[in-house]
Structure 1
Amino acid sequence: MIDHVTINVSDVETSRRFYEAAFAPLGYRVSFGKEGRFWAFDIGDGLFEIQQSDSPPPLTPVHVALRVASREQVDAFHRAALAAGGGDNGAPGPRPDYATNYYASFVLDPDGHNIEAMINPAG
């Protein structure tokens, strides 16, 4: 299941205003974010995120996060993607700066897109 998609934008505040207006008829609203850095819109079963293009890694022009069932799956995804020729963009491990129980890994696909496997159990 796709948990969230992040796109790289040149001006996060301009893009926030655009998406707030465009998403209003759909009932989508800003869920959380950080002024001048990123904003996440709640789109029902996932998040649509915008992030300033000059933000630090692991952001790439396209970022897709896949929600998995276990930390073991996060680890296995990372190993399999690297074995298939992907690039390491963040080893499996906790990401407490994202959320208390967030655990993820990041790989770059053959075109340089950031693909994440993650789990964030309620805690």
Structure 2
Amino acid sequence: MIDHVTLNVSDLRKSRLFYENALAPLGYGLAFGKEEIFWAFDISDGLFEIQQSDGPPPLTPTHVAFRVKSWEEVDAFHRAALAAGGRDNGAPGPRPDYSEAYYACFVLDPDGHNIEAMINPKP
């Protein structure tokens, strides 16, 4: 399952207003974010995120996060992606800055897109 997708936008303020209005009829709304960096919209079982295109590294033009069932699956994804020619963009491990139980890894695909495998069990 895809947990979240992040897209680069050229004007974060304009895009936030666009998505707030466009997603409202679908019952989706702003969940959280950081002024001038990114905004995340709650879309049922996942998040749709927008980020300023000139934001700080390691932001990439596109980011997709796959929700998995275990730390072992995160680790296996990382190994397989590197073996398939991906580049490491964050080894498997806890991400306490995201949330207490968040565990993830990041790889860059052949086109430089940031692909994540993650687990974040709800309490």
Overall identity of the aligned pairs, in %: 79
Q: Partner residue of 1:37?
A: 37
CA offsets per residue over residues 53-96 of structure 1, 9 Å max, x none?
Answer: 12223321111000000111111100110011101111111111
Q: Does the 8 A contact of 1:58 with 1:106 survive in 2?
A: no
Instruction: Give matches, 1:84-99, under 5 Å.
Output: 84-99=84-99
2:108 and 2:64 map into 1 onto residues whose CA distance is: 11
* C-alpha distance after superposition, 1:22-43 (max 9, x if no partner): 1111111001111111111011
- In structure 2, distance between residues paired with 1:11 and 1:122: 33
Q: CA deviation at 1:122?
A: 1.9
- Give the equivalent residue in structure 1 for 2:68: 68
8 Å Cα contact 1:74/1:104 also seen in 2: yes
Q: Which residue of 2 aligns with 1:13?
A: 13
TM-score (norm 2): 0.94
Return the alpha-carbon distance in structure 1 between the equivalents of residues 97 and 120 of structure 2.
Answer: 12
CA RMSD across the alignment: 1.1
Is 1:119 aligned to 2:119, yes or no?
A: yes
* Structure 2 partner of 1:24: 24
Q: Which runs of 5+ in 2 are unaligned?
A: none
Q: Distance in 1 between matches of 2:27 and 2:42?
A: 9
